Chain A
Amino acid sequence: MSNPIKSAVRAGLFRVESGWDMLVGRESNPMYCLGAMSWFFFWVVGATGLYLFVPYDTSAVRAWSSIEYISREQWYWGGLIRSLHRYGSDAMVLTMMLHLVREWCLDRYHGARWFAWFTGVPLIWMVFSSGVTGYWLVWDELAQYLAIGTAEWMDFLGIFGQSIARNFLNPGALTDRFFTLLIFIHIAVPLFLLMAMWVHILRINRANTNPPRPLVIGSSIMLVALSLLHPAQSHPIADLGKSIGDLNPDWYFMALYPLYDAKGPLVTWAVSIGASLFLSLMPWMAFRRKRRAAAVVTSDLCNGCGNCASDCPFGAVVLRPRTDGLHPSPKLAVMQPDLCTSCGMCMASCNKTNPFLPHTGETRTTAIDIPDFTFDLMVKRVSARTHGLVGKNRVLIIGCEHGAVLDHLKGPSVGVLPLHCTGMMPPSLIDYVFNKDLADGVLVTACRPGECFYRLGPEWTELRMNGERVPKLRGAVPRDRVRLFWAASTETKALMAELAAFRVALEELPPIVRPESTKRRVAE
């Protein structure tokens, strides 16, 4: 599926996340919402930046002293705001880079997801540009170092009429207009960044841009405490007549500068452009990966209810006015194949995806189906995988091919059915298992929420099984015979233990009393 290095990194990541879950609780684990955390820190930086803009003096002579005034004289509100501005931006870089690494680890960057990945690469540079221009504004020795380094770096391109670095040759060369330009850039770039962040999530349905409240509260308290205990400080005021000695750089933004000092502009440009190009093209570098066929809508069966459009994690299904007259409903689900990841959540959400519905011939049909794993195939596989199971505690495990390895759990009393994603399972399938006496219990397993390869699979599964989201698991289904268990690919042993406990519990339950005749059975 993926290279061994990535698999090892992913396994390590899952273990870290699982350990973190135990330490802080699932809701307060930022690893599941790193993108949303970056959004949150962006708002922190934006709000504090608005405050700092008011007392900041955009002149070469007074810029540094105005920052000192904010930090020391406005005791201690101004200093707190400045520190929040700095540490918020550092936290944004940290969460952004972790977000990138995690999405790579989870293989969530190719196929229909190329757009989010591709548009995410410029965000990195925009964040860095915003941060570096912010550090220039302080006009201390660090700003001097950054200004000269950046100017020399840019001058190497030779596309500017005048040498930018000559602006920093001596104290007289620097004008107030430069600082006016600088603050304009420092405001404009984050505004473009916000727009680019919006574009970044444009093709993601129900994109999470707000972290859970416990994380927001905890992170805010952490930032405030850090700002109070270790407030942001300026270096001594910049003096273009003096060279720069020792610095305390903000490594979240300035890691490239020492490379420039050591290797020069050519290597730094090569690394920057090369890394950006490599990252941008990664979605198309997955050579051996075959893209699955997109979901297909059967027009005459679709009643335009919109469940599929609502549940699709990538907005691949949209509702359009019906023009074919094949069904009395005014709307029709339309598939956009380029956006489809073939997760099958749309199929599970469709109210025609029900094994109890009458069908003509051998094949069950539904209004929206996955070509290489049709609903009919799913039902037939349920029958096949449960055929011949023995004992009083026969279990069918329905799970995700990206989660725990289900084949390790097969046995005389245990059948397994791996799906593209657990979110592909219509709840009526569980009902069907009991109704047909195919098993005594159904263990549904899914990747942990936040670790779903496709997004939202575990969430939709849980809500549907709890009867909180359509299609709901029927109330008559014996809940003590159905169990839901999160298990990442590294947690097969935990799933085994859960299976063993479930089978013991099933053994103690009274046998299911099945009515001889119901409307559904008649229909069946």
Chain B
Amino acid sequence: MIKPRYIAGQAVAYAAFAVVIAYFASNPVYRHHNPDNALLKLSLTHAGQKVGECKERSADELAKLPPNMRAKQSCGRERNAVTLEMDIDGVKVFSQTAKPAGLSGDGRSRFYDSREIKVGRHVIQARMRDGNDPNVFDQVAEVTVELAPRQVFVVDFDEENGKFEFK
């Protein structure tokens, strides 16, 4: 039973407890992105081309292999690292080379970037190198887009059609 002399104190203490809980349960306000800006996301996973060509095995080579492993071609698993670059209005804002995932280097390369961008018209160009020639970008695409406040604009890669996707 609560003693009468403690009732006022308890009321104060519980009120303070409640205020502390309630306040920090939703305050202070936090601004994640400026609501006047748009958000540009670059997100793709892409497997680079294989490093080596497949090689035909000779009869001698096949004979040395166990019967269940006598495939006619010997193909390396390793893939190229993928380089991705992105320009906004002619200014390079993203450039990264990602190694393929996996212990054998045969997985996908992964890219992720998220940045605020002013609303309005922008020219966005994406370039990707996934082949063996270090001087050539295998994929290049450009889009002109009108961005609205809080709009999320995504740059992705359509693996089925083999081209950049802007959405």
Q: Are the C-beta atoms of A243 and B151 separated by less than 8 Å? A: yes
| Complex Cα spacing A155 to B110, Å | 10
Distance in angstroms from A194 CB to nearest chain B CB is 22
Distance in angstroms from B97 CB to nearest chain A CB is 15
| Complex Cα spacing A163 to B45, Å | 8
Which residues of chain A are near B26, meaning CB under 8 Å?
Answer: 233, 248-250
| Complex Cα spacing A223 to B12, Å | 14
Distance in angstroms from A155 CB to nearest chain B CB is 6
Task: Determine whether B121 belongs to the interface, using a CB cutoff of 8 Å to chain A.
Answer: no
Task: Determine whether A251 belongs to the interface, using a CB cutoff of 8 Å to chain B.
Answer: yes
Binds A, one of B2-10, B52-60, B73-81, B125-133: B2-10
Question: Which interface residue of B10, B32, B39, B112 has the most chain A CB atoms within 10 A?
Answer: B32
Question: Of residues 6 to 32 in B, which have CB atoms within 8 Å of A's CB atoms?
Answer: 6, 9-10, 12-15, 17-18, 20-22, 24-27, 29-32
Distance in angstroms from B1 CB to nearest chain A CB is 8
| Complex Cα spacing A223 to B29, Å | 23
Q: Are the C-beta atoms of A25 and B6 separated by less than 8 Å? A: yes
Q: Encode contact with A along B23-65: 1 for CB under 8 Å, 0 otherwise.
A: 0111101111111011101010100000000000000000000
Q: A23-B9, A25-B2, A162-B45 are in contact. Are A226 and B151 (CB under 8 A)?
A: no
Task: Determine whether A377 belongs to the interface, using a CB cutoff of 8 Å to chain B.
Answer: no
Q: Are the C-beta atoms of A23 and B27 separated by less than 8 Å? A: no
With both beta carbons as reference points, the residue of chain A lying nearest to B6 in the complex is identified as A25
| Complex Cα spacing A242 to B38, Å | 8
Q: A87-B22, A244-B32 are in contact. Are A25 and B12 (CB under 8 A)?
A: no
Task: Determine whether A505 belongs to the interface, using a CB cutoff of 8 Å to chain B.
Answer: no
Distance in angstroms from B82 CB to nearest chain A CB is 14
Task: Determine whether B154 belongs to the interface, using a CB cutoff of 8 Å to chain A.
Answer: yes
| Complex Cα spacing A513 to B132, Å | 107
Which residues of chain A are near B38, meaning CB under 8 Å?
Answer: 243
Q: Encode contact with B along A203-245: 1 for CB under 8 Å, 0 otherwise.
A: 0000000000010001101110110001011000000111111
Question: Of residues 71 to 122 in A, which have CB atoms within 8 Å of B's CB atoms?
Answer: 86-87, 90-91, 94
Which residues of chain B are near A250, meaning CB under 8 Å?
Answer: 24-26
Interface size on A (CB < 8 Å)?
A: 48
How many inter-chain contacts with C-beta < 8 Å in the A-B complex? 124
Q: A170-B152, A246-B35 are in contact. Are A165 and B21 (CB under 8 A)?
A: no
Distance in angstroms from B103 CB to nearest chain A CB is 13
Q: Are the C-beta atoms of A252 and B24 separated by less than 8 Å? A: yes
Question: Which interface residue of B10, B45, B154, B167 has the most chain A CB atoms within 10 A?
Answer: B10
Distance in angstroms from A307 CB to nearest chain B CB is 33
Distance in angstroms from A342 CB to nearest chain B CB is 37
Task: Determine whether A24 belongs to the interface, using a CB cutoff of 8 Å to chain B.
Answer: yes
User: Can you list 6 A-B pairs with a CB-CB distance of less than 8 A?
Assistant: A28-B10, A91-B17, A169-B41, A219-B14, A245-B150, A252-B25
**Which residues of A are at the interface with B, using a C-beta cutoff of 8 A?**
20, 22-25, 28, 86-87, 90-91, 94, 145, 152, 155, 158, 161-163, 165-166, 169-170, 214, 218-219, 221-223, 225-226, 230, 232-233, 240-252, 258, 261
